[in-house]
Structure 1
Amino acid sequence: ISRRAELDERYADIEETFARIDTYLAAGRIEDLRQSDLIGGLSQRLAELSWSQTVRLSRFYLNGIGIAQDRDFALRLILDQAYLGNADALIEVLRMQLRGEDVGDWTLPPEDTARLGFGGLIGRNNPGLCARAERMAREYLDGDLLTRNPDLAYAWRKFAADMGGAEAAWRVVEYHLSATGDRMNDEALDHYLQQAVANGAVILPDTVQEIVEAGATTEAEIRRLLGMNAARTGSSDRSSATPYFELDARLTPEFVAEDGEYLQYLREIAELPSAPGSVMMRLANEILFRKGRWKGQDEAEPILRDAIRKGDPEAMRILAGLLLAERGERQQLAQAETLLVAAVEQHGDTNALKDLDTFYRCQVPDAPQLQEAEFWAEAYRTADVAPVSVSSSDLARFDPRREPEALARIQSLAISGHGGSAADWLQYLQSDRYSSETALRHWANRVGSSDVALERFVQHEFELALTSERRDSAVELFRRAYLSIGPAISLELAVALVEDGARDPDIAAEIVELLESSARRGEGAAMRLLQQLTGRDRSELYRDYAKIITERGDFVAHAFFASEISDDAYDAHMDRAISMMSCSTKDIAELTMAYGARGREKDALHWIRVGLALEHGNSLTRLRLSDRQLESFQMGLSIAEDTVPPIDTATADIGLLRQSYLRAVNSRNHDVDAEVAADYLTSIFNGGNREQYRWALAQYRTADLKIRQAVDARIDIRTGLAEAAESGDPVAQYEFGMFLRSVAETRQDLKSSTDWLAKAAHGGNGDAMIEYAHAIGFGLGREPDPKTALMWLDRADGLYPGGGSALRRTINAMMVE
């Protein structure tokens, strides 16, 4: 076990711990296992466990194996996972029901639990489908919950093999190797052997001999298959992450049925009284995906409203987007606005901040409403959650000395699970010749497990392929990604093939097929490129795709075919387009051209004015300079005191005051004048809104002591914060707790800070949960309590997934020591 952990980073830690537990159990050393506290250690790391691992852990507590029995804790783990739809947990609940054991507040009868469990075990067509089908095969072989039936087990394994499962294909080969009489089938053995090899199964020399002796095929044929398999993966050098991708080939259908087992499974869970809003949101999303955004709207809307009643912020954003399609109706527009504001104020959803900026800047009929748009844009900037906008070539040239902030943000977002940033970070690692194999393997695994990340990474690879050999490798990786992700990247692969080898007749035919596949999904960019490549008449093309656009057309589809829409339907058609737009130069240009071509000059002029109000995207494209690079210049620009005009703090707007404060404390360029900086910060404290006050408070906490003393001489921050905290507002309690920490001089000061953070954490503030965990984990003003700290990090993870991951790792390391 130790040796494998040294060789395989992915096996080390959690899987290694489970393997050691299994070894103790196999040796019958239960008391030694109890003394090792391996199981207790896992219970402190619940957020790091997979669904199946959580269920395995619950069984130890349920039965008191290697740990003191704690049925309540075990049942909580199982039911939490069951309500999330975990098939393993549902089957565990079924086992308990069949044994007549208490299952807490689970109210479904055994037959319904079984249907949910085994229906969820199959689930959707994604990379785990083959493994779940293999699980069904094992259930039929074990005869524990299902009547033992080897024939059905074999059928499930064939299904998994046909869906691309290498392990399942090999199990079918093994079945025929050991079969006798009429069950022997050399043709099937040969077929599934090829399937296993093609999908990545490793065939050992002893196995080759066994197959040859069975008479199913020849050694030369097997060597040919193995040679093909090796040729696909052996031509990459160490500096590339490509060899470390383990991508499953999925036979993903272009469309899934409008109804099916997975959808029914979601419906049944959503009907449970205790089902969370996130389940209903997922159900509504699945309906919109399967039926199409517009065809499924009527069915999805009431489900989204149920999710909103249960407090799901993403459901608020989705419903707001659907309501915007009727933005001409004042009531619908007002409701969309209310939902987005509620998502921010009630749930702290930072994505809704960006949506509100787009809403006021572009989507309301009298846009741009700049005052409102700037308010939400500033709040989004203050939240500091926006991903870095960076090109492939920029990534390849990034240097930590030149753009440390951009790299730090990419890395932070990648660690927290942002797919696009993970792809960017892996691409950056490839450009560093000192990147370790461990790092490349780790990030390739993370990127390969996310469709969004994988799509972005292969696009980077294609853009940066500057030689013929690397271009071939990039196209091959693009095709592998297509097999893994499916039709969702048909358009991107088609564009890559147009650039790479469109003069080949076979590739040209493939491009058309890929574009038609994307067009049938409602992707307007594919329809436009198809029209350009084939020269088809736009009206003829619209007739072919009119029904698809009506049911599931995206923004580009609506804008591109606007000229084909009748006058009486035109406004509704364009309102749908506007509800899906991004507030960008590109989308505004599309709308301007659509209205201009229609002869609606007033509307075209409206969108020109909206374009002039854009906040971002003002790149100096002729000079190939981006906004981010211009901001870097401003940071490095020396500020001479006699060239900076004095700021009237009484009349200056908040944005100017913030910029002036940041320039004043930029000690790289000049000596810091604490009095001037304090004037700016005090003005923001006195004149800003709630968000600006928090920004100023954050600056105060990290400011130089001289600046803090100068601010204290002007205003009494402590008293104002204390009064707000005493009112019971969790946000104010968090702010006061952090303030007390920043000015603490004694252990009692730290204790007071921790006490206020505890109140805010109990009040449901996610930031406070993380900071409170930090305080009690490291013993700020009290004795360290790492176990309780980890419990609070688990609670915070429900609000901000991954937000306390770095702190969790540190506390776990302290506990190990």
Structure 2
Amino acid sequence: MDTWAVQGWPEGLSSATASRDIATLRKENAAEHVALILRIIAELAKRDPKFVGKRALLAEIEVLRAAGADQDIRARQLVPELAALSNGTSAQVSRALARYYGDGLGVKTDPVLADQYLVTAARLGHPDALLTLASRHSKGTAPVQWDMPAKDSVLTAFKTLITPLNSGVCDRSSRIARAYLTGDLVQQNAELGQAWLRFAADLGDANAAWKVYELQRLAEEVLPDTQVRIRYLTQAAEAGLPFAQVALGRVYERGALVAQDLERAKELFTRAADQGYRAGLVRLALFLEDHNESFPNSGPHWHSALERLSETEDPPAWVFTRLANARLKAEKSPDAKIIGLYRKAADLGDREAMTRLAELLLSDRSIADGFGQAVDLLAEAVAVHGSTGEAKKLFDAYMCKSADSPHVDEALYWRAQYEAADPPLPQSEGDLIAALQSQALYRRHSALELWFPHVKAQNDIASVAFWDLYTQGFGQLLEQQAAVEADRLASAQWREDAKRLLTQIHDRDGTAAMMAFSNAIIMEGPALEARLIQETSQGSGAALRMLASVRGEGVHKILPPHLNDLLRKGDFDALLLATPNADRPLRVLDLAIGKMPCDFKSAMAVARVSGRVGAFERLAQFLEIAEHLHGDKPWALMHLGEARLKWLGMQEAQSAVQLFSAAFQGGELTAGKRLLALLQNPETPLYDPIEAGILQSKIAELTESL
């Protein structure tokens, strides 16, 4: 302590203060302060006649014991020296000697001698000795020289504990309370135990106040009283106990026992967190996350809580996931730190981190062994967490994302896994409704698109409100998408882009932002272009295409000012649009592939752009991938046939004929016309005027029927 920074006795210091300093330093860290404590003991012995001799020696032994210097105590024969100084008049010394000889501290263990000292201490009124002998008397193990009934021993000890009313009375009252609460020495009586705790608390003992709260919270053996519960919890919190601050903060956050007060809750969580209390940091971070609308400027405070929590021993996995999410949201582009944070969380078993890390690894083909690490993470998420969504991502990875995709067998295996866990909706109406509701509860996008119209048709306002709240405005999203669909828009591509943008904004910024943007689309006011520019800067390819339509210019003309943003933050559409204009088009094309949805349209889009930039290996690869994604849809078969002819030449004519034939049989009239042109062209190896005549008749019949 600063008081003892100089040698000698500090001016104006009392013996009582020096004794308190000895006790404080011993409790804080006896091993670190042992030399200083021994110096204070020596100085106190010089100045206080009451401290000379056995009291000073007892203090020295206790310090060495607390410092773990048992060998020193034994080597210097301090316990026998204390026994020689003891004349049976000090209860404190006798109780200490009983413990030393009983435990073998500094001397050979001697139970008989230990009992003699214990009885002496009890007869001198030492409360701990009295309570120890009462316990042993009840068990039949008391020394023969002790014949006081257990009840009398306890009552005598309690009287001794409660007087005098000095600084130790709170601890002594709590000792009495424990006796009544445990029933070890007296008949168990929780109400009396609570009364003694309240007595100690009312004298200022914060720990006793907390114990009163705990008794009230459980309310198993005492009468519950909300006012008592809150009063003592508040006292414990105001005294600075961090666990009490967290508990009281939760009370104010919920607003069940008291009026809700989020400001007060935040203050309490902050105070607990500022003490480095782990649960306080956890609660503060989650509180600011749950109530971000009430504290819109608390982002730095939230981030600081997460950072401090991440530096604690054994931090929870979700902390690293949230830190990575926040950094990714701000940067829009993953960096080594983001990947490192996700990796830490994934190593600790966090499912979200596994998925996000896998997505980042798949999004950049330049990462060494990124594909292998990604599929391992996704497979672990499926095996450990039973995640069907990750099984779908494994299908996507094997079919579309590997440098040498498609890995058809592996992809089909994982498709079977997620289809088995998430089967198609049943056909009968009753089963369909039940299945829709079940799957809607899991917030499946496809199920919600069918479920919301059903709920709305029931004219149950409460149900509509519940589902809209449960799905964070999904119903409003559907309504706005329908309004956009019905409006006079330039093209089908515009409508598709608009709906995609609405979904992106809803997922990122919430329902209110989505509604504002959809209204701007419908009104087509001056705010629309500004919002489209903003969304383009956020990396939206759909916004870029819509912006080109608003301005009546080609995408390639308005792309240059936005190119850097799109390369850094762009989604799949944006990266594809940027590829032909980039300095390193193949690198950007690979980044686009990393973010692509693994479906037929996306595979064909990659193939087309690959052809434009001369990446013919990628072109052939994604035409092959598209072969496994067309789902036998006639329009898809036709487009695939056209692409094979356009990019791979007439050597693919036979393959194109098969695709056109299948599409035409499925009712795609245009495919029949493409096939007819091949059969009528004498410059192709497929020239067949007879077959062409038969096909022409079929096309005519189909045209008439339409």
Task: Identify which of structures 1 and 2 has the higher relative contact order when contacts are C-alpha pairs closer than 8 Å and 6+ apart.
Answer: 1
TM-score normalized by structure 1? 0.41
Which is greater in Rg?
Answer: 2
